[in-house]
Amino acid sequence: MVGLSLGMLLFIMAGGFVAAFVDSVVGGGGMISLPVLMATGIPPHLVLGTNKLASSMSSLASTLSFLKSGRVDKKLVLRFGAFSVIGGAVGTTVLHWVPSGFLRPMMIVMLFAVTIFTLTRKQMGDKRTFTGLTGKTTLCLTGAALLLGGYDGFFGPGTGSFLIFVFLLIGFDFVGAAGNAKVLNLCSGLASLTMFAFFHSIDYRIGLAMGLSMVFGSLVGSQVAIRKGTRFVRPLFLSMSALLIAKQLWDFLQ
């Protein structure tokens, strides 16, 4: 176990707050929280599980905030949340047998495509055009919940951004997409967290310390997104997508 000095505790909590603020709005908070955890000297095999504990606390807080605001389609996310749970549990289980690094190149390509597509569709996410499920959107959301839930449990970075993009594609505005994505992300995150706990891959002291600050960060971030709307969320989404691409590309080339 890594000792928690006052300086380290403040570092963890500051990093957690920033990560959760960003993640609650557009996803990608893991790009901040994972390096923070690694910098503390926590054993590598505990990093992902500890981050999952902290991020699950953050996801729960921001999910409740979005639910309270009425910006979540409750029937929709309840219908597809189970698929995210299944994906998250399976993904984390597989992670303990298969290294996840091979996913990095694919993730870079996918994020790049998402960013370019969103940039070229300037009206995308401005207004909600979703009127109900069709056969095509049901298949899309089922596949996305399963695959991205599995990705979240197995690797993780960018899951929230990918989920937001899926909801944008089927006609939600940016704030509604962020709220719905956060619920599905919470479902896969809790399932993944359960499996990390089963495999004893969590440092609870550090995870809870970071998680407490992430709760506050997620509450502030979700409220800012709800109040400022698409004009705030869209540029932040594009900026974080670009940063995620740059970070993952840098790690891949090292």
pLDDT at 73 over 90: yes
Instruction: Give me the residue spans of the domains in the chain.
Output: 6-253
The model's pLDDT over 16-31, given as tens digits with 9 standing for 90+, comes to 999 999 888 887 788 8
* pLDDT tens-digit readout, 193-246: 999 999 999 999 999 999 999 999 999 999 998 888 777 777 877 787 787 778
- Max CA pair span of the chain: 54
Burial of 225 (0-12, 13-18, 19+ CB in 10 A): buried
Summarised one tens digit per residue, pLDDT across range 75-103 is 999 999 999 999 999 999 998 887 766 66
Please check the confidence at residue 122 and state whether its pLDDT lies above 90. no
> Quick one: pLDDT at residue 120?
72
Quote the pTM value. Answer: 0.85
Q: How wide is the angle at C-alpha 44 spanned by C-alphas 40 and 49, nearest 5°?
A: 90
Q: What are the residues whose beta carbons fall under 8 Å from the beta carbon of 207, sequence distance 6 or more?
A: 49, 50, 51, 53, 54
Residues 6+ apart with CB under 8 A from 131: 171
* H helix or E strand, kind and range, residue 29: none
* Euclidean distance between CA atoms 71 and 179, whole angstroms: 6
Q: According to the model, what pLDDT value does residue 100 have?
A: 63
Give the whole-angstrom CA distance, residue 105 versus residue 130.
Answer: 32
DSSP output for 124-179: TTTS----S--HHHHHHHHHHHHHHHHHHHHT-TTHHHHHHHHHHHTT--HHHHHH
CA–CA separation, 237 vs 242, rounded Å? 9
Query: How many angstroms separate the CA atoms of 93 and 77, rounded?
Result: 24
